[in-house]
Chains A and B, each alone.
Chain A
C-alpha cells in the first residue's frame, strides 16, 4: 500500500513540476471605473438648489437687462417660429414636438419676468416650478407627487430620515425637456482575456468554469508578462514582474 501511495505522490509531484495544469490564466488589468459614473448629482440644478447652495443666481436676475413693467417684445420669423434673441442664445426652443410651444409667455409672466405663470394665469415662483409643469403634464405630475416619476434620494423610511425629491427641472431643461443622452459606463469585462476581434458579442462573460489565477498573494496585484497583445492571446506566462493595478488609467 505504501508503495502505491508513493507512486501516486511521485506522479503528482512530477505532474506539478512539469506544470501539467498548463500556464495559469492571468488576471489582466481592468481599469477602475471613473468616479463620474458613481456621482449621484442630477443632470441640472434647479433654482431651489442654487438658492440652497448660495450660488450664482445672475441667470434669474431678469431686470439686470430688462426694464420693469415693460413686457419684452417677441419676434417671429416668416414660419412663425420664435426668434431667440442673441442675449438668450443658450436657449434652445424645443419644448413640444410640433413647434406649438412657441411663445415665452406660455410659461413666463410677461409683467413680472421673475415669476412664471400657468396658461390660466396663475402666478408661480421659480422655486415652485413643478406646479407649473404639472398644469399641463397632469399624469406625470401625479406620478411625481406619488414618488413614481423622477428621482428620490435619502430615506425610504420617513420615520428614520428625510427623502429628497428632485424637481422636474433637475432632469429636464424646460426649454428642451428631452432627457439628455450620455456616454454609458464601461460594460462587463470577460473573465478571461479574449483575442482581439473575437470577443463574442451578445454572450455573457464567462464567470464560469475557468481556473482564474494562480497568482495574487498580494490582493491588488497581478503578475503579468509580455505585451497586452500577448496577454490577450493567452500565451504570456507569469515572470514575477508585478504591476500595480491601481496605477492603471481609468476609463
Chain B
C-alpha cells in the first residue's frame, strides 16, 4: 500500500505567504542592523543639551497669552534661570507706554569709538560671551566719506579717537517699516506701538530669514547655547528683552526694553563717556530727541534709500 504522499497544508495561523525560516532570518538581520544603525545615526542628538520641557513646548504665542498664562511663563523662566545660573532673576512683561514712541539720536561729532557701548550692552542684555554676540558694531570710517562698505570693524589703536577718522556705531535701527518683521514666517518678531521691534524667543523657529532681510546686520543668531558667566548675569530681565536666549533663536537690540519701558535710559547711552548717544520720546516736544531733530544737523538715517525709515538718527554738531 503506497504511503500517502504527505500533503503540505499551510498552518491556518500563518498569513498568506507565511514566514519561512529563511524570510524570518533575513528580516530579523535587516531589522537588527537597521535599529542599531538608527541608534548610531542619532548620536548627534546626544550633543543636544536643551530639550524643551512640555511646559515650554506647549507655551502660547506672546500675543495670545492671558495675564495668568504670562505669570506662569515668567515663573517658569525664573526657575530655569535660577537652575542654570543660581541667581533668582526678576523677569517682567513690560508693555509699551501710551503716547510714547522711542527715537535714538547719535552724535557723530562726539563719538570717539571707544566701544564702551558695545560692552555695556552685552553686560546689560545677557548676550553670549563665547561665542561672542554683540548688538552694536562700531565702524571706523575715514573723514569725509560715508562708504560703510569700506568701514574698519577691527580697529585696535593705542587710543581713540584717531586722527583722520570718525566712528559710527551701528545697531538695530528700530525701523518704522522693518523688513525683518515682514519676512518672519511665524510672526515671532513684530513692531510694538512704542516703535521697538521685539522677538518672542520662545516662538522663534530660528530660520534666520530676518537676519537676511535686515539691511543693517542688526540681528544675531545663537548658533550654540549662549554662555554667560554667573557673576556677569543681569538679573533684571524682561520677557521681550534680555532674558537668556536658547540655542537656535535670533536676538537683537531692543532699546533695553527692561530699562526704557520703566522710564530709564538704555545702557549704551549711560556708559557713553562722550555723551554722543541721545534717547527719548519723540512724541514729547520737550524731549532731547525732539530738540535734536528740530535744531541739529541730522544728516542721515542709515541706508535711507531702503525705505526702512529708521528710528535711529545720526547727527552732527556745528
Residues of A within 8 A of B (CB): 2-3, 5-6, 9-10, 12-13, 15-17, 27, 29-30, 32-33, 37-40, 42-43, 140, 143, 146-157, 159-161, 163, 166, 171, 179, 181-189, 191, 199, 201-205, 207, 210-217, 219-220, 222, 245-246
Contacts and interface: CB of A to CB of B under 8 A. Distances in A.
Contacts of A149: 275, 317
Contacts of A10: 33-34, 37
A183 B159 contact: yes
A13 B265 contact: no
B309 interface: no
B295 A148 contact: yes
Contacts of B43: 16
Nearest to A163: B265
16 contacts: A12-B37, A13-B36, A13-B38, A40-B120, A143-B296, A147-B288, A148-B296, A154-B264, A154-B265, A156-B281, A157-B281, A161-B264, A182-B114, A212-B131, A219-B228, A220-B230
Contacts of A42: 273
Interface in B288-318: 288, 291-292, 295-296, 317
A151 B153 contact: no
A9 B37 contact: yes
A33 B157 contact: no
Interface of B: 27, 30-31, 33-34, 36-41, 43-44, 47, 49, 84, 97, 112-116, 118-120, 122-123, 129-134, 137, 150-161, 217, 220-221, 223-232, 260, 262-265, 269-275, 278-281, 287-288, 291-292, 295-296, 317
A207 B224 CA distance: 11
Contact of A219 (B157, B226, B260, B273): B226
B263 A40 contact: no
A30 B129 contact: yes
Contacts of B130: 27, 29-30, 222, 245
A149 B109 CA distance: 11
B122 A156 contact: no
B34 A6 contact: yes
A2 B27 contact: yes
Contacts of B281: 156-157
A140 B33 CA distance: 79
Contacts, number: 221
Nearest to A219: B227
A184 B227 contact: no
A185 B224 contact: no
B38 A217 contact: no
A13 B262 CA distance: 53
A17 B40 contact: yes
Nearest to B226: A219
A37 B154 contact: no
Contacts of B120: 37-38, 40
Contacts of A13: 36-41
B31 A30 contact: no
A151 B276 CA distance: 8
Nearest to B34: A6
A3 B34 CA distance: 8
A57 to B, nearest CB: 25
Given A30-B130, A181-B159, A185-B115, A212 B272 contact: no
A207 B287 contact: no
Nearest to A204: B153
Contacts of B37: 6, 9-10, 12-13
B233 to A, nearest CB: 11
Contact of B114 (A40, A148, A184): A184
A148 B288 contact: yes
Contacts of B30: 2-3, 6
A12 B35 CA distance: 12
A16 B275 contact: no
A214 to B, nearest CB: 5
